[in-house]
Amino acid sequence: MSTIDLSARRTPPLGGFNATILGLELRRMLRNRRTVIFTLIMPVALFLIIGLNSKYVHESAGRGNVSAYVMISLAVYGAVLATTSGGAMVSLERALGWSRQLRLTPLSSTAYIALRMAVALALGLASILVVYAVGIATGKASMPLWVWITTAAIGWVGSLVFAAFGLFMGYLLPSENVMQILGPVMAGLAALGGLWFPLQDGSTIQQVAQFTPMYGLAELARVPLTGGTVEIGWVVNILAWLVIFAVGAAWRFRKDTARV
Amino acid sequence: MQQTQLMAAPADAATSSISLRGVSKAFGPVRAVRDLDLEIRQGEVVAFLGPNGAGKTSTIDMILGLSQPSTGQVRVLGMAPHEAIRRGLVAAVMQTGGLLKDLTVAETVAYTASLYPTTAPVADVLRRAGIAEIGDRLVGKCSGGEQQRLRFAMALLPDPALLLLDEPTTGMDVEGRRAFWTAIRSDAARGRTVLFATHYLEEADAYADRIVLVSKGRVVADGSAAEVKKLASGRTVRATIPNPDEQALKAIPLVDAVEIRGDSVLLHSRDTDEVARHLLTRTDARDLEITSRGLEDAFLALTRDEPVATTGALA
């Protein structure tokens, strides 16, 4: 009886992370009608309805107009919804037994998390770019070029916080439709973050809202347009929530791998 | 309960495909696996049998590195399970789940293949698994049989040295089952080890080199099908007796166990001739049949809650 040569076997580079799985994962996201509607179509539709209102087009806001202000807010909203969806896909994959299947392959858990984050950020970027592209095409949002670029960059990088949030929720909630639960939560957080309508400075609601997870990101993403000073509280808000969600995700991830 | 070691397995961990030494697994107060020892050589085809809750799944999870033993040591091909997995040396086919519904069949195979440094070409694997023509179909739209063939294609991609199968032939017709086992046997001849769990005892009987029977977290029998069957010694007399009296039947000399199903009575004994003579001469029993005991009887006798008299022959 022969035996198989064990010494000839190697482990894959980068823990198994590769371009093929990244491409296939992106294709999967775009096949999901719900994801496409909520992260790519809805922010654009809301911008077309709200942002192009002639009152907003003619009202100035810092270095541009209110249309630009609305556009940034909706792009950030689309991005955080996209990254949350991307992270929360682990929930579906656990429910389907796919994460268990992957643990029987050389793909390391670090590479798996990196893959989820990369897919989430790619979708977040797509969400921002689609809204900005429509903003350019319609020609109503007005602000200097460098503000277009900086606001998009801040919104995108900041949406990483919600990739961690999605991952945390994905490990916490055993469901195939975790986004149905998270959808209303996200809408509520967006309201508190001032993404739907500006919060009155010093109002009671603003006092509370400044501690919620979208507040810091919304303020920071719009500051190149509004031209105010960057408040340290915004940055603390973003970093604190990033740590909370990342620690939560790591905690649930460990529980998950110990049990499955 | 006695543990039976019919096979004196060589305890060389470097060449063993699977080596479990003193392995226990507890979930809170529940002890799913108790001090289990098992050595499986490369190229063996082993049936892993046991009633539900015997600890089969817990044991397989530890072999796959999906869970850690509470105590004891698990080695796969001389390494820690996750090391063997990282090298593509171990694959498993589960009965359900483990697939993404929103990828196509070909995409799923390409996805899995990309995780290994080297695999057979995806097109070849699809063709050999008989799923080349449905490569563009979404997995969620595939039948159960097609999904099972896809799982096999994925498992065979890295040419694993150890393959674990959970109820591999469920849903296959007789011909498909025979072709499947022919393929498994020829891979085993090349050195691949196969450990499979099944409910079809005749399949374990026909295709396994070795049967490992677990009950309550322990190995209760380990050997060839013939050896395991011998453990449940004796034969069974089946007779029709109107209104059978269980106590009277149990009192018949040499009767080990009595089962009553309506007017039908099953008597287990090491000397069924004597029992038959007794039934025909002293009772109004009729329609007697005497059968030797198969793997199923051995299975029942060895995994029964309380050791029956026949297990006295085990130790």
Give the start-to-end residue ranges of the domains of chain B: 16-229, 234-292
DSSP code string of A194-218: TSSSPPPTT-HHHHHHTTSTTHHHH
Which pLDDT score, from 0 to 100, does residue A181 have? 87
Q: Is the pLDDT of residue A76 over 90?
A: yes
Report the distance separating Cα B224 and Cα B154, nearest Å: 30
**Residue with more model confidence, B233 or B189:** B189
Which pLDDT score, from 0 to 100, does residue B178 have? 85
Separation in Å, CA of B69 to nearest CA in chain A:
11
Taking the Cβ of residue B75 and every Cβ of chain A, the question of whether any pair is shorter than 8 Å is answered with: no
Report the distance separating Cα B200 and Cα A112, nearest Å: 37
Which pLDDT score, from 0 to 100, does residue A258 have? 60
Q: Compute the mean pLDDT over every residue in chain B, rounded to the nearest whole number.
A: 85
Tokens 């003193």 sit at which residue?
A: B22
Which pLDDT tens digit goes with each residue over A107-164?
998 899 999 999 999 999 999 999 999 999 999 999 999 999 999 999 999 999 999 9
Q: Report percent pLDDT > 90 for chain A.
A: 72
Q: Respond yes or no on whether ipTM tops 0.90.
A: no
Contact A104 B114 (CB under 8 A): no
The single-letter code of the amino acid at B248 is A
Tokens 């268990």 sit at which residue?
A: A100
Report the distance separating Cα A18 and Cα A106, nearest Å: 12
Question: Which sign, positive or negative, has the C-alpha torsion B82, A117, A242, A190?
Answer: negative
Report the distance separating Cα A69 and Cα A47, nearest Å: 10
Which pLDDT score, from 0 to 100, does residue B314 have? 36
Candidate CATH numbers 3.40.50.2300, 3.50.50.60, 3.40.50.300, 3.30.450.40; the one for domain B16-229: 3.40.50.300
The separation between the first and the last C-alpha atoms of chain A, rounded to the nearest angstrom, is: 35
Contact B117 A11 (CB under 8 A): yes
Q: Is the pLDDT of residue B8 over 50?
A: no
Report the distance separating Cα B123 and Cα B13, nearest Å: 37
Taking the Cβ of residue B64 and every Cβ of chain A, the question of whether any pair is shorter than 8 Å is answered with: yes
Question: The whole model's pTM is what?
Answer: 0.82
Contact A20 B15 (CB under 8 A): no
The separation between the first and the last C-alpha atoms of chain B, rounded to the nearest angstrom, is: 10
In this complex, how many residue pairs, one in chain A and one in chain B, have their CB atoms less than 8 Å apart? 112
**Residue with more model confidence, A91 or B199:** A91
Report the distance separating Cα A191 and Cα A209, nearest Å: 9
Contact B191 A10 (CB under 8 A): no
Q: Is the pLDDT of residue B142 over 60?
A: yes
- Measuring CA to CA, which residue among B212, B182, B175 is closest to residue B63? B212
Mean pLDDT, range B279-303, rounded to an integer: 83
Best residue of B87, B141, B193, B194 to probe chain A, by most A CBs closer than 10 Å = B87
User: Residue ranges of the alpha helices (H) in chain A?
Assistant: 19-31, 33-36, 42-46, 54-58, 66-95, 98-102, 109-138, 145-158, 160-172, 178-192, 204-209, 215-226, 232-259
Q: Which helix (H) or strand (E) holds B17?
A: strand B16-27
Which pLDDT score, from 0 to 100, does residue B13 have? 43
Which pLDDT score, from 0 to 100, does residue A2 have? 58
Which pLDDT score, from 0 to 100, does residue A3 have? 66
DSSP B288: E
Q: Is the pLDDT of residue B297 over 80?
A: no
Check whether domain B234-292 has CATH 3.30.70.100, yes or no: yes
**Given phi > 0 = left and psi -120 to 50 = alpha, else beta, which region is B243?**
left
Q: Is the pLDDT of residue B77 over 90?
A: yes
**Given phi > 0 = left and psi -120 to 50 = alpha, else beta, which region is B261?**
beta
Mean pLDDT, range B144-165, rounded to an integer: 92
Kindly identify which residue of chain B lies nearest to residue A13, measuring between CA atoms: B117
Taking the Cβ of residue A8 and every Cβ of chain B, the question of whether any pair is shorter than 8 Å is answered with: no
Contact A27 B107 (CB under 8 A): yes
Q: Is the pLDDT of residue B306 over 60?
A: no
Which pLDDT tens digit goes with each residue over A19-73?
999 999 999 999 999 899 999 999 999 999 999 988 999 999 999 999 999 999 9
| Tokens of residue B246, six digits | 């269980």
Q: Is the pLDDT of residue B12 over 60?
A: no
Which pLDDT score, from 0 to 100, does residue B303 have? 79
Which pLDDT tens digit goes with each residue over B216-248?
999 998 998 888 877 766 788 999 998 888 888
Q: Report percent pLDDT > 90 for chain B.
A: 43
Which of A24, A100, A106 faces B103 most closely, judged by CB atoms?
A24
Identify which of A245-259, B62-76, B118-132, B163-177 has the greatest average pLDDT.
B62-76
Which residues of chain B lie closer than 8 angstroms to A256, CB-CB? none
Best residue of A1, A7, A9 to probe chain B, by most B CBs closer than 10 Å = A9
Residues B64/A105, Cβ–Cβ less than 8 Å: no
